[in-house]
């Protein structure tokens, strides 16, 4: 089994550690996919410096695993630290460095990036954190290339996410990387969350809950677009499907997603191609047409920009 160790500490919220435990601890998926998975499913361990911690709200949690278990895990998840302005404990820093030396995968959620940075594992790497803390992280750790825009950053063996809920996006990305699009989509359906969220965290800075995000017309229009990815979609007909004028559609789409319709559509087309690359024998040219790109050249260009690899290399990871 692939061991996922999640840090627990005094005063923590149960949200971030709980979301990671929920995704990586889906035992029914372990049983369902055990015969077909190319990699083993996960086993989860909640680890703390002390055997007993007090969580936000007054709950007391007793843990059976310590930082030695965290250092020995295959994947280490660091939720938000208690105080981003205070250095993490030397014991935790040493455990992270030990895990890094073993080649473990290191993951932070929100301000958990400060613990990874303190251990030096983010040096000369791109990373993100909650937009509130991005400037502080860059100032305190100048060797880290801090990008406040994305929901998460995959720097290979070290991965960081933005605000708390972006941890869901990152955990799903890890499942997608380990087990493929189909399994990740099944996890997303069980949690009733989006398999992939377009746009970055910039959309949440000014308006955390945009009015347009609750507009059923916009949701209907986006659902229609996803059903017609295989053909050209014009802004005018997309706006008509959303029962909005072109001008209102553009304005409300930006409020709801933080990006433009064209950029969102391009991201969805790339995402739709992943399952075809993994499971079909269709050529790159055929796949590009199936998901609505004008040409294979255009498809490759957008695929590399979004996935940081080529379609052929991505396919080789699942067929090699």
Q: How much is the average pLDDT of 272-283?
A: 89
**Phi and psi dihedrals of 266, rounded to 5?**
-65, -45
The model's confidence at residue 33, banded by pLDDT at 50, 70 and 90, is low
The rounded distance, in Å, linking the Cα atoms of 24 and 27 is: 8
Are 203 and 258 a contacting pair, CB within 8 Å? yes
DSSP SS3 for 249: helix
Are 170 and 112 a contacting pair, CB within 8 Å? no
**What are the sequence ranges of the domains in the chain?**
2-191, 216-317
Q: Is the pLDDT of residue 36 over 60?
A: no
CB within 8 Å of 221: residues ≥ 6 apart: 238, 239, 241, 242, 243, 244, 249
Q: What percent of the chain has pLDDT over 70?
A: 88
Q: What is the mean pLDDT of the chain?
A: 87
Q: What residues form DSSP beta bridges with 75? A: 4, 105
Higher pLDDT, 308 or 79: 79
Other CB atoms within a 10 A radius of the CB of residue 168 amount to: 24
Q: Is the pLDDT of residue 142 over 90?
A: yes
Q: How much is the average pLDDT of 252-268?
A: 89
Q: What is the pLDDT of residue 305?
A: 87
The rounded distance, in Å, linking the Cα atoms of 157 and 99 is: 11
**Tens of pLDDT along 9-27?**
988 888 889 999 999 998 7
The rounded distance, in Å, linking the Cα atoms of 54 and 13 is: 10
CA dihedral 193, 198, 204, 206 (to 10 degrees): -150
Q: Is the pLDDT of residue 76 over 80?
A: yes
Q: Is the pLDDT of residue 210 over 80?
A: no
Are 200 and 163 a contacting pair, CB within 8 Å? no
- The hierarchical CATH code for the domain 2-191 is 3.40.50.880
- The hierarchical CATH code for the domain 216-317 is 1.10.10.60
Q: Is the pLDDT of residue 212 over 50?
A: no
The rounded distance, in Å, linking the Cα atoms of 118 and 97 is: 10
Q: Is the pLDDT of residue 137 over 70?
A: yes
Q: What is the pLDDT of residue 199?
A: 55
Separation of CA 16 from chain center: 13
Q: What is the pLDDT of residue 203?
A: 42
Q: Is the pLDDT of residue 213 over 50?
A: no
Nearest-5° Cα angle at 276, 189 to 273: 75
């Amino acid at each position: 089994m692939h061991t996922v160790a999640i840090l627990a500490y005094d005063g923590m919220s149960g949200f971030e550690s709980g979301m990671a435990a929920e995704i990586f601890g889906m035992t029914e998926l372990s049983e369902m996919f055990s015969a077909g998975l190319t990699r083993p499913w996960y086993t989860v361990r909640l680890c703390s410096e002390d055997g007993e911690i007090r969580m936000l709200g007054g709950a007391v949690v007793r843990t059976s695993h310590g930082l030695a278990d965290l250092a020995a895990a295959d994947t280490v998840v660091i939720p938000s630290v208690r105080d981003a302005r205070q250095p993490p404990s030397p014991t935790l820093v040493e455990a992270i460095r030990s895990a890094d030396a073993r080649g473990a995968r290191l993951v932070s959620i929100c301000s958990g990036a400060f613990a990874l940075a303190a251990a030096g594992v983010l040096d000369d790497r791109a990373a993100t954190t909650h937009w509130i803390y991005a400037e502080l992280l860059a100032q305190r750790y100048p060797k880290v290339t801090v990008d406040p825009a994305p929901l998460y950053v995959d720097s290979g063996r070290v991965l960081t996410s933005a605000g708390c809920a972006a941890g869901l996006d990152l955990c799903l990305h890890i499942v997608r990387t380990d087990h493929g699009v189909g399994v990740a989509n099944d996890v997303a359906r069980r949690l009733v969350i989006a398999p992939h969220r377009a746009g970055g965290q910039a959309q949440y800075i000014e308006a955390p809950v945009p009015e347009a995000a609750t507009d059923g017309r916009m949701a209907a229009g986006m659902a229609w677009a996803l059903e017609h990815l295989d053909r050209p979609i014009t802004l005018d007909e997309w706006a008509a499907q959303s029962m909005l004028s072109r001008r209102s559609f553009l304005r409300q789409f930006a409020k709801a997603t933080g990006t433009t319709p064209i950029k969102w559509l391009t991201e969805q087309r790339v995402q739709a191609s992943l399952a075809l690359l993994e499971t079909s024998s269709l050529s790159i040219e055929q796949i590009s047409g199936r998901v609505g790109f004008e040409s294979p050249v255009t498809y490759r260009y957008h695929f590399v920009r979004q996935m940081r690899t080529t379609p052929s290399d991505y396919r080789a990871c699942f067929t090699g």
